[in-house]
Chains A and B, each alone.
Chain A
Amino acid sequence: AQTVTQSQPEMSVQEAETVTLSCTYDTSESNYYLFWYKQPPSRQMILVIRQEAYKQQNATENRFSVNFQKAAKSFSLKISDSQLGDTAMYFCAFMNSGYSTLTFGKGTMLLVSP
Protein backbone atom coordinates (compact mmCIF):
# COMPACT_ATOMS: atom_id res chain seq x y z
CA ALA A 1 0.00 0.00 0.00
CA GLN A 2 1.14 3.52 -0.69
CA THR A 3 1.48 6.22 1.93
CA VAL A 4 1.77 9.96 1.48
CA THR A 5 3.23 12.19 4.18
CA GLN A 6 2.95 15.94 4.49
CA SER A 7 5.02 17.03 7.46
CA GLN A 8 3.86 20.66 7.61
CA PRO A 9 0.34 20.96 9.07
CA GLU A 10 0.35 24.75 8.64
CA MET A 11 2.39 27.35 6.83
CA SER A 12 2.20 31.12 6.49
CA VAL A 13 3.55 33.40 3.80
CA GLN A 14 3.13 37.01 2.84
CA GLU A 15 1.77 38.16 -0.47
CA ALA A 16 4.29 38.13 -3.33
CA GLU A 17 6.64 35.79 -1.46
CA THR A 18 7.57 32.24 -2.40
CA VAL A 19 6.65 29.21 -0.32
CA THR A 20 7.44 25.50 -0.64
CA LEU A 21 5.18 22.74 0.63
CA SER A 22 6.74 19.34 1.31
CA CYS A 23 5.47 15.89 0.45
CA THR A 24 7.07 12.47 0.65
CA TYR A 25 5.56 9.17 -0.36
CA ASP A 26 6.30 5.51 -0.11
CA THR A 27 5.66 2.99 -2.87
CA SER A 28 7.25 -0.06 -4.38
CA GLU A 29 5.86 0.79 -7.81
CA SER A 30 8.02 2.33 -10.51
CA ASN A 31 5.27 3.95 -12.54
CA TYR A 32 2.77 6.25 -10.88
CA TYR A 33 1.34 9.76 -10.86
CA LEU A 34 1.55 12.51 -8.29
CA PHE A 35 -0.79 15.42 -7.80
CA TRP A 36 -1.19 18.54 -5.74
CA TYR A 37 -4.79 19.51 -5.00
CA LYS A 38 -5.99 22.73 -3.39
CA GLN A 39 -9.08 22.91 -1.18
CA PRO A 40 -10.16 26.47 -0.32
CA PRO A 41 -12.80 27.21 2.34
CA SER A 42 -15.48 26.62 -0.29
CA ARG A 43 -14.47 22.90 -0.03
CA GLN A 44 -14.09 22.50 -3.80
CA MET A 45 -11.04 20.33 -4.44
CA ILE A 46 -9.11 21.75 -7.39
CA LEU A 47 -6.14 20.25 -9.21
CA VAL A 48 -3.04 22.44 -8.99
CA ILE A 49 -0.45 20.34 -10.77
CA ARG A 50 0.23 16.80 -12.00
CA GLN A 51 3.49 14.86 -12.43
CA GLU A 52 4.11 11.56 -14.16
CA ALA A 53 6.80 9.52 -12.40
CA TYR A 54 8.42 8.45 -15.66
CA LYS A 55 9.03 12.08 -16.63
CA GLN A 56 12.21 13.54 -15.22
CA GLN A 57 11.19 17.09 -16.04
CA ASN A 58 9.44 18.88 -13.21
CA ALA A 59 5.90 20.02 -13.97
CA THR A 60 5.07 23.73 -14.01
CA GLU A 61 1.74 25.55 -14.13
CA ASN A 62 2.11 29.33 -14.08
CA ARG A 63 3.16 30.27 -10.51
CA PHE A 64 3.14 26.65 -9.37
CA SER A 65 6.02 24.25 -9.88
CA VAL A 66 7.16 21.00 -8.35
CA ASN A 67 10.49 19.54 -7.34
CA PHE A 68 10.14 15.83 -8.06
CA GLN A 69 12.92 13.66 -6.67
CA LYS A 70 12.01 10.08 -7.58
CA ALA A 71 14.88 8.38 -5.79
CA ALA A 72 14.14 10.28 -2.61
CA LYS A 73 10.38 9.82 -3.11
CA SER A 74 9.88 13.51 -2.62
CA PHE A 75 7.38 15.79 -4.38
CA SER A 76 7.38 19.38 -3.13
CA LEU A 77 5.22 22.24 -4.42
CA LYS A 78 6.62 25.72 -4.88
CA ILE A 79 4.24 28.65 -5.09
CA SER A 80 5.82 31.83 -6.43
CA ASP A 81 4.40 35.34 -6.05
CA SER A 82 1.86 34.13 -3.48
CA GLN A 83 -1.60 35.67 -3.70
CA LEU A 84 -4.38 35.98 -1.12
CA GLY A 85 -6.44 33.56 -3.20
CA ASP A 86 -3.82 30.88 -2.64
CA THR A 87 -5.03 30.55 0.96
CA ALA A 88 -6.28 26.98 1.16
CA MET A 89 -5.54 23.46 2.32
CA TYR A 90 -3.10 21.77 -0.03
CA PHE A 91 -3.10 18.01 -0.47
CA CYS A 92 -0.43 15.87 -2.03
CA ALA A 93 -1.87 12.76 -3.67
CA PHE A 94 -0.60 9.54 -5.25
CA MET A 95 -2.17 7.49 -8.02
CA ASN A 96 -0.87 4.12 -9.11
CA SER A 97 -0.43 3.51 -12.81
CA GLY A 98 -3.52 1.84 -14.25
CA TYR A 99 -5.78 3.14 -11.51
CA SER A 100 -8.15 6.08 -11.02
CA THR A 101 -8.11 6.41 -7.25
CA LEU A 102 -6.00 8.64 -5.05
CA THR A 103 -4.12 8.26 -1.80
CA PHE A 104 -3.89 11.60 -0.04
CA GLY A 105 -1.58 13.13 2.51
CA LYS A 106 -3.04 14.83 5.59
CA GLY A 107 -2.71 18.25 4.00
CA THR A 108 -0.94 21.54 4.66
CA MET A 109 -2.97 24.62 5.53
CA LEU A 110 -1.42 27.61 3.74
CA LEU A 111 -2.31 31.10 4.89
CA VAL A 112 -1.31 34.00 2.67
CA SER A 113 -1.40 37.34 4.45
CA PRO A 114 -1.26 40.90 3.06
Chain B
Amino acid sequence: KAGVTQTPRYLIKTRGQQVTLSCSPISGHRSVSWYQQTPGQGLQFLFEYFSETQRNKGNFPGRFSGRQFSNSRSEMNVSTLELGDSALYLCASVAGQNTEAFFGQGTRLTVV
Protein backbone atom coordinates (compact mmCIF):
# COMPACT_ATOMS: atom_id res chain seq x y z
CA LYS B 1 0.00 0.00 0.00
CA ALA B 2 1.50 3.34 -1.01
CA GLY B 3 2.10 5.85 1.75
CA VAL B 4 1.25 9.51 1.89
CA THR B 5 2.85 11.39 -0.98
CA GLN B 6 3.65 15.07 -0.82
CA THR B 7 4.90 17.12 -3.73
CA PRO B 8 7.11 18.92 -4.22
CA ARG B 9 9.70 17.97 -1.59
CA TYR B 10 11.45 21.34 -1.75
CA LEU B 11 10.34 24.75 -2.86
CA ILE B 12 11.94 28.19 -2.91
CA LYS B 13 9.66 31.19 -3.39
CA THR B 14 9.98 34.94 -3.19
CA ARG B 15 8.09 37.14 -0.74
CA GLY B 16 4.71 38.12 -2.14
CA GLN B 17 4.36 35.08 -4.36
CA GLN B 18 1.87 32.32 -3.82
CA VAL B 19 2.47 28.59 -3.56
CA THR B 20 0.46 25.38 -3.85
CA LEU B 21 1.44 22.16 -2.12
CA SER B 22 -0.06 18.77 -2.89
CA CYS B 23 -0.82 15.72 -0.78
CA SER B 24 -2.05 12.31 -1.89
CA PRO B 25 -3.31 10.30 1.09
CA ILE B 26 -3.21 6.56 1.56
CA SER B 27 -5.82 4.87 -0.59
CA GLY B 28 -9.11 4.68 1.27
CA HIS B 29 -8.27 7.43 3.73
CA ARG B 30 -10.74 10.28 3.50
CA SER B 31 -9.33 12.63 6.12
CA VAL B 32 -6.33 14.79 5.29
CA SER B 33 -4.75 17.22 7.75
CA TRP B 34 -2.01 19.78 7.22
CA TYR B 35 0.57 20.88 9.78
CA GLN B 36 3.24 23.55 9.73
CA GLN B 37 6.54 22.72 11.44
CA THR B 38 9.01 25.44 12.39
CA PRO B 39 11.91 25.45 14.88
CA GLY B 40 10.28 28.18 16.94
CA GLN B 41 6.63 27.17 16.98
CA GLY B 42 6.95 23.41 16.56
CA LEU B 43 4.12 21.55 14.86
CA GLN B 44 0.96 23.55 14.41
CA PHE B 45 -2.31 22.35 12.93
CA LEU B 46 -3.47 24.22 9.83
CA PHE B 47 -6.67 22.50 8.70
CA GLU B 48 -8.35 19.19 8.10
CA TYR B 49 -10.41 18.07 5.13
CA PHE B 50 -12.84 15.19 5.06
CA SER B 51 -14.90 14.23 2.03
CA GLU B 52 -14.03 17.49 0.24
CA THR B 53 -15.16 19.64 3.19
CA GLN B 54 -13.03 21.54 5.66
CA ARG B 55 -13.85 19.93 8.97
CA ASN B 56 -11.46 21.72 11.31
CA LYS B 57 -9.26 24.77 11.10
CA GLY B 58 -6.30 25.96 13.11
CA ASN B 59 -5.36 29.49 14.02
CA PHE B 60 -3.73 30.70 10.81
CA PRO B 61 -4.46 33.79 8.70
CA GLY B 62 -6.70 33.63 5.67
CA ARG B 63 -3.65 33.55 3.40
CA PHE B 64 -3.55 29.85 4.15
CA SER B 65 -6.23 27.87 2.41
CA GLY B 66 -6.82 24.38 1.20
CA ARG B 67 -9.12 22.09 -0.64
CA GLN B 68 -9.77 18.42 -1.16
CA PHE B 69 -10.77 16.67 -4.34
CA SER B 70 -13.16 13.77 -4.86
CA ASN B 71 -10.23 11.33 -4.91
CA SER B 72 -9.21 12.63 -1.44
CA ARG B 73 -6.09 14.34 -2.75
CA SER B 74 -5.60 17.66 -1.04
CA GLU B 75 -3.86 20.89 -1.86
CA MET B 76 -2.93 23.77 0.37
CA ASN B 77 -2.28 27.25 -0.91
CA VAL B 78 -0.43 30.11 0.69
CA SER B 79 -0.86 33.52 -0.89
CA THR B 80 1.27 36.63 -0.45
CA LEU B 81 4.14 34.67 1.04
CA GLU B 82 6.04 36.10 4.00
CA LEU B 83 9.50 35.18 5.26
CA GLY B 84 7.84 33.64 8.33
CA ASP B 85 6.03 31.11 6.14
CA SER B 86 9.33 29.27 5.66
CA ALA B 87 8.66 25.90 7.20
CA LEU B 88 8.22 22.19 6.71
CA TYR B 89 4.63 21.50 5.75
CA LEU B 90 3.43 18.05 6.69
CA CYS B 91 0.34 16.29 5.44
CA ALA B 92 -1.29 13.45 7.37
CA SER B 93 -3.95 11.02 6.28
CA VAL B 94 -6.22 9.18 8.66
CA ALA B 95 -8.49 6.20 8.08
CA GLY B 96 -11.01 7.25 10.71
CA GLN B 97 -11.46 9.19 13.90
CA ASN B 98 -9.08 8.41 16.73
CA THR B 99 -6.88 6.24 14.55
CA GLU B 100 -3.23 6.60 13.66
CA ALA B 101 -2.24 9.52 11.44
CA PHE B 102 0.15 8.59 8.64
CA PHE B 103 2.45 11.39 7.57
CA GLY B 104 4.10 12.27 4.30
CA GLN B 105 7.74 13.34 4.11
CA GLY B 106 6.76 16.95 3.94
CA THR B 107 7.41 19.90 1.68
CA ARG B 108 10.23 22.19 2.74
CA LEU B 109 9.21 25.73 1.76
CA THR B 110 11.79 28.49 1.84
CA VAL B 111 10.66 32.07 1.30
CA VAL B 112 13.41 34.52 0.32
Contact = CB atoms under 8 A, between A and B. Distances in A.
Question: Is the pairing of A and B real?
Answer: yes
Interface stretch (B16-24, B71-79, B101-109): B101-109
Main secondary structure of the interface of B (DSSP, over half): strand
B98 A99 contact: yes
A46 B33 CA distance: 15
Contacts, number: 58
Interface residues of B, number: 25
B43 A100 contact: no
B45 A102 contact: yes
A99 B56 CA distance: 9
Contact of A43 (B35, B88, B97, B101): B88
Interface residues of A, number: 24
Contacts of A95: 98
Interface in B58-112: 88, 90, 92, 94, 96-103, 105-106
Nearest to A52: B98
